[in-house]
Each structure stands twice: as structure tokens, then as C-alpha cells.
Amino acid sequence: MTVENESKNHTKVPVQYIQTLRGGTAHVILFNDGKKYVVKWNATKKDRGREVVNEYIIGKLATLFSLPVIPFEIVYISKEFIENTPELKSNKNNYLSGYQYACIYIENTLVFEDVRQDPPSKSEIKNRDMLAGITVFDQWVNNSDRGTMNVLFEPLVEGGYYVHMIDHGRCFPGRYQWSAQTLSQMPEYNFHWPFYKWVYSNLHDDNELSSFAKKIVNMPNNLIYEVIQSIPQEWDVNTEDRESLYIFLLKQKDELPNILEKIAIYRNTL
């Protein structure tokens, strides 16, 4: 099993700007395949230089574990399209032509905040078996942004919901601006947040968390390495930073038992 280098899509062409999403830096764009995509620009803001890199890395790693990240790819946005789109010619943000991150836009979804006071039951979540995985995976990659707005609930025709994990720009020590230096720092963990509390209430037992942790530990290191090496060169992640990220993720494997122990102690207080 190998991770192929991400192909850069030149056949998928943007044809119509649709809307700006919450936060102002992600945009819904219709492409020539008839689908709408949420597009995030690389290095739009100086203080969010690694946002798109993180989205890509997390998406690739989560896919290795069959976690519910929304299908994504790298697309090319031309200078001509930007020049012809007033919303992208803004002086506030620096939208340049080049390779960008794009994931499918799912219509009519709810965020966790919308259902927080009366969340769906176990039987209503059709991919309930993935919830433990999302929680452990987030701790492994040190996600500091699994807030109530960063989980989607997609209503299904047959009833119930499918949970999607979104927005992974703030991962790893250093978040939007991680580097070899920040990756050497001690991570801060956020397993006590509202979404995780809801996940804990939906678990059958602690084994669901530990079972997924074993999947991470047993994931061949070469696959993790290949994901990091497949980051587009245009996104300016140097060799030192790539190597440091790889080392960080391997060290995090060793930390998972300690993290799970802290989660178990916290769960017992709920």
C-alpha cells in the first residue's frame, strides 16, 4: 500500500463564483464538472501561511484511516478567473493564481452548534462508529480547532445524519504557522471540548478509543512520510519542516496511551 503523489488538476476549471463562507477566506465556486467546491487559497494571509498545507495533510492522513473528511483535491485557479471575480480582487486578502485546496461543498448541512442543545441519538448517526476515530485522530495531530462550528451533520434521505469533519487549518504545535521550531514544543490537548463530550456519550466503552489508537500506532510510518512528501512544492514547505513534521507525528504515536489515560480520567468526571 502506497500513497500516490497528489495529482494537480488542470482539467477541473472554475466557471462561476457562488459565495464567501464564514471567516471570509473560503469560497464556494462552481467548476466545469457541475459540482460546487469550497476553495481555500494557499498563503492568503501571512498569519495563516500553513492553513492550506494543514488541510491537505490532515485530509490525506484521515483518508488513510477511512475517517469522514469531505472529498478534496488540488485545483488550479487562473489569474484570469481571479481578475474577473470582484470578490477575489479584494485588497483585504491576497488571492493569487496557482494550486489551491478544494473540497466538495455539501448543501443543507447543520453544524454541531445547531444541534448542541438537542443532539442526535446514537441510532440517528449513521457513521457513529467513526466518532471515536475522529476524537483520537484529532489528539494525534494536535487539532486545536474542533469547535462546535467545525463538525457537519448531513441530513440523509433515509433519515438520520452523516457526520463530516471539516476545517483543519489549526493543527500541530504552531497551528497556522508551524515550523521545525514550534513542532518541538509540548502540545496542548483539547479533549474536553463540547463535541468530544458528545462523542464520549455515544461510545459503547473505552475500547472504541483504544482500538483506533492502535490503528494509528500500526499505520506504517512510510505512508505517513509519503503524505508529507506529497505536499505540493509550490506551497513552500522546506525539507527541514517536512522532516520535523514526520518526527512529530511518530512521537505522537508514542504519546497516545498517555492521552487516552487522560481522556479516561476526564470521562469519569462527566
Q: Please, what is the average pLDDT of the chain?
A: 93
Residues 133 and 234 in one domain: yes
Q: Please, are residues 227 and 5 in contact by the beta-carbon 8 Å criterion?
A: no
Of 81, 72, 82, 76, nearest to 98 by C-alpha is 76
Report the amino acid identity of residue 171. Answer: C
The whole-angstrom separation of Cα 20 and Cα 17 is 9
Answer whether residue 1 is part of any domain: no
Residues 100 and 114 in one domain: no
Contacts of 262 (CB under 8 A, 6+ apart): 189, 191
Confidence band of 9 (pLDDT split at 50, 70, 90): low
Domain enclosing residue 54, as ranges:
8-104
Residues 34 and 143 in one domain: no
* Region 110-124 average pLDDT: 96
Where among 79, 104, 129 does a domain terminate?
104
User: Strand ranges (DSSP E) for the chain?
Assistant: 8-9, 14-20, 26-31, 36-40, 72-77, 98-104, 110-111, 151-155, 161-165
Would you state the pLDDT for residue 3? 44
What CATH number should be reported for the domain holding residue 115?
1.10.1070.20
Would you state the pLDDT for residue 4? 44
Answer whether residue 240 is part of any domain: yes
- pTM, rounded to two decimals: 0.94
Contacts of 119 (CB under 8 A, 6+ apart): 112, 198
Per residue in 164-206, pLDDT (tens digit) is 999 999 999 999 999 999 999 999 999 999 999 999 999 988 8
Per residue in 206-238, pLDDT (tens digit) is 899 999 999 999 999 999 999 999 999 999 999
Instruction: Indicate the number of domains in the chain.
Output: 2
